[in-house]
Chains A and B, each alone.
Chain A
Amino acid sequence: MILHLNHTRRESAAPTAADVVNAVLALLAEKDIEPAQFARLQIYLDWLQYKENFREPVTVTLPAENRGGRFPSEIRVDSRRVEPGAFLGTLRKAICSAKAAERDSAGRIYLEEFHSFRESIAWQFNRLYWQRLREWEAASGKPYEQALPGGKSDGHNPEAIADSVAEFWTLLKDLEARNQLPPEVFLLEIGVGMGTRARMWLDRFAQLDRERGTNFYPRLRFLLGDYSLSTLERSRSTVKEHLELCSSIALDALDPIKTLSFLRHKILYVHSTNTYDNLPDEEVVWRGNRIYWVWARAYLTGGDAARIATLCGVQPADLARTIHRLLDVGPECLPDRGKGMLFWMEVWKALRTEERLVDTLEMPDVPYPAGLSATQLEDILQDAPAELRFHLSTGALESFRNTLPLLHPRGYLQVQDIFVTDLHEYTMGFYGPGKLDGSIVNWVNGALLREVAERSGYNIHFVPFKYRPDSKTSILYTTQRE
């Protein structure tokens, strides 16, 4: 057996390594685990960044080749959530559940088949949250920004915005000195939200431009991009002082060039805040020089299913169908809209995923994100730890790759988000997926972004967000790679 301690938190790291060894030896003695399986068993003590997530405190992952087999070969423990002293019982229960799940007899209500997490129904919940944000906020009684660490978005930090404006103004000044200042200066905000940052940025730019007498402001063409038309509409009233310079564009953050191809190589500044961490993602495992896909299927435990059915007045047999209806039509899935909201929030809170590892050799047509091939990923992983589970950051990679062609030769991309900047960091923490209010959050695999960027002609740099103490946010920015 190999025990991996994948975090550096000591204070609440229950169970301890000794607890794990004692529990496994006890189960071995009770024949819940056989000696042959014991030899191959790998146990991971993780610390999930988000207490609200999709895992049970102890999960048992059955590798594809063991389908139908009796014993687990991988156990992951969320050290943060296992009660001290309760590990043996929790582990026994998890192993029994895994065996039962193989026979579909664990009492769980499955909501989908196994597939990569990016295809999971969980992302439909995420989409519903953003579509019906106001209703969620009204029901929960708090604006979504309150769910963010620090209670507000780092995107609205006045000092950070002032520095960003000053940097951009300097670029324009340099272009002007070289006779290369375009008559129209295009800027793009991806995921404009309520428009608060755009307004603050433009206010500050107008002020600086006035102070320095440069008259760049009238040249600005500020593109407010968001996938939600209603969000765009709301943002327009926020930037009303600058409307003549602003265009609102319905934009898929995954593919900005699709909408803006007419601005290829023309945009001087692209910015986004807290967008990448909320784009569809999935995980892979690097083990024995092979890549395994982590497949997932969402479920509710039997206990949660029964509780929610009673609470919301849904027949247990109709539960799965009602959940799918929720994702189609929202809280109107139930005749009583209030119950519908309650149903949504309770199901989301209870939503869990079972996992299975699938060898990529079994799925030769597996789609890799744009800019990354299996061969390239294997090359990158040659320098990674031998045993590693990490985010592929599929949505972030796609968005990044599909944004770069928009950049003017002197243009740059800035992304404020939460990044894992070195693959080795994945052996010291587990960075999602977590639940942030009604949405999904994953740290973004900055190490992979860096590799993809280099092949696309950019270097990327991560600067810790210095404007809020203890912020975990970094600012990614691109520079031309020679």
Chain B
Amino acid sequence: MKLPLLPTTMVGSYSMPGWLERLKTDYFARRISRNDLDDIHDTVVKAAIKDQEIAGLDIVTDGELRRDNMIDYFLERLPGVQIDRSSKKFYYDFYDSEVVGKIPMASLGLVQDFKFLLEYTERVPKICITGPHSLTKRIRNKYYPNEAALATDIARVMNMELKELVKAGARMIQIDEPYYSGFPEDLDWGVGVLNILVDGVDAKIAVHICYGNRYGKPSWEGSYRYLFPRILDAKIQQLSLEFARRGGEDLELFREFNVPFELGAGVIDVKTHLAETPDIVAQRIRKVLEFVPADRVVILPDCGLFHVPRDTAFAKLRAMVQGAHIVRKEIGDRSD
């Protein structure tokens, strides 16, 4: 499927309904069965896909609604990571987890999620996974000499999974690494690990780096300047950054460092529950185009819409799509 100029997509997650939060928590309290929860997840994922299609997104995800949070879904699947399953009070809490031995190679079972997405959409599918640096930050390391070594082994396991995803038809894969912003001092080894993760993976690789969205609030503040120039060594094709909430000051970095990647430009603020208008989105896109040519820009929200109420999340996506239409027209693109 050919994508238009300024294609639109989500960063990954879609609005998590309050009733689903309660059902997920009920599962942890053993009030509903795994089968029931799986069935519920299938249903909400279909609804999330449909919402994205109706909103008009060009690239769709599964909304990540099967996931409790961006960490646990992966740690549960990583062999060798020991999880304390009693450590959750609320489904969104992080598990206490630790590594006490070498992480063995094994499948993580993400292909099944991707196939489900593929089955229910004819749009371009994108699968998003949390990167090794962020996962490492949530694991108590009792085996490896340092975090870089742990992250390297996680990257090796996940690299195999990414290749399985490609075999299943994945052409767009997004790696989420928000913890870079909290631990900029790790970036040197973080990029090395990232390159192990994507080595030999025949798909367009995007890396999403924001300032955190835990509980719908930023976890850190600062400037993306810390990424440069080290991030330029990453073997990726797209860098996805947040600009709606923080303003476009850091766009200058793309010019200053002559960045070769596509820019996934965050033009929707996911930390407010007020939907942008298409005009505001168009303004933000125009600002981006002052620094990066349109054929290297993808339009998306600052981060996942997990914490935004469903009606607002949908309105934000609609405004984002309409804002992109406005700018496409202005620059003479006729793909609409």
Chains A and B come from one and the same complex: yes
Q: A residues touching B (Cβ–Cβ < 8 Å)?
A: 178-180, 182, 264-265, 373, 375, 379, 404-405, 407-410, 454-457, 480-482
- Cβ contact of B90, chosen from A182, A407, A455, A480, cutoff 8 A: A455
Give the CA-CA distance A380 to B89 in the complex, in Å.
11
26 contacts between A and B (CB under 8 A): A178-B222, A180-B220, A180-B222, A264-B271, A264-B272, A265-B217, A265-B218, A265-B271, A373-B18, A408-B221, A409-B217, A409-B218, A409-B219, A409-B220, A409-B221, A410-B221, A454-B89, A454-B90, A456-B215, A457-B215, A457-B216, A457-B217, A480-B219, A481-B215, A482-B94, A482-B214
Give the CA-CA distance A180 to B222 in the complex, in Å.
6
Q: Which residues of B contact A265 (CB under 8 A)?
A: 217-218, 221, 271
- Chain A nearest CB: distance from B159 CB in Å? 27
Q: Which residues of B contact A182 (CB under 8 A)?
A: 221
**Contact between A405 and B22 (Cβ–Cβ < 8 Å)?**
no
> Is B278 interfacial (CB-CB < 8 Å)?
no
Q: Which residues of A contact B217 (CB under 8 A)?
A: 265, 404-405, 407, 409, 457
Residue of B nearest to A404 (CB): B217
Q: Which residues of A contact B25 (CB under 8 A)?
A: 379
Q: Which residues of B contact A179 (CB under 8 A)?
A: 222
Give the CA-CA distance A265 to B217 in the complex, in Å.
8
List which B180-209 residues lie within 8 A (CB) of chain A: none
Q: Which residues of A contact B22 (CB under 8 A)?
A: 375
- Chain B nearest CB: distance from A368 CB in Å? 13
Q: Which residues of B contact A409 (CB under 8 A)?
A: 211-212, 217-221
List which B265-283 residues lie within 8 A (CB) of chain A: 271-272
Q: Which residues of B contact A480 (CB under 8 A)?
A: 219
- Chain B nearest CB: distance from A257 CB in Å? 11
Give the CA-CA distance A457 to B218 in the complex, in Å.
10
B 2-46 to A, binary, CB cutoff 8 A, 1 in contact else 0 = 000000000000000010001001000000000000000000000
Q: Which residues of B contact A408 (CB under 8 A)?
A: 221
Additional 11 contacts, C-beta under 8 A, given A409-B217, A480-B219: A179-B222, A180-B221, A182-B221, A264-B271, A375-B22, A409-B211, A409-B218, A457-B214, A457-B215, A457-B217, A482-B214
Q: Which residues of B contact A410 (CB under 8 A)?
A: 221
Q: Which residues of A contact B90 (CB under 8 A)?
A: 454-455
Give the CA-CA distance A264 to B221 in the complex, in Å.
12
Q: Which residues of A contact B216 (CB under 8 A)?
A: 457
- Chain B nearest CB: distance from A263 CB in Å? 13
Q: Which residues of A contact B214 (CB under 8 A)?
A: 457, 482
B 271-302 to A, binary, CB cutoff 8 A, 1 in contact else 0 = 11000000000000000000000000000000
Q: Which residues of A contact B218 (CB under 8 A)?
A: 265, 409
Give the CA-CA distance A407 to B94 in the complex, in Å.
22
- Chain B nearest CB: distance from A244 CB in Å? 25
Give the CA-CA distance A456 to B215 in the complex, in Å.
6
Residue of A nearest to B272 (CB): A264
Most chain A CB inside 10 Å of its own CB: which residue of B90, B94, B214, B217: B217
Give the CA-CA distance A405 to B222 in the complex, in Å.
18
Give the CA-CA distance A481 to B216 in the complex, in Å.
12
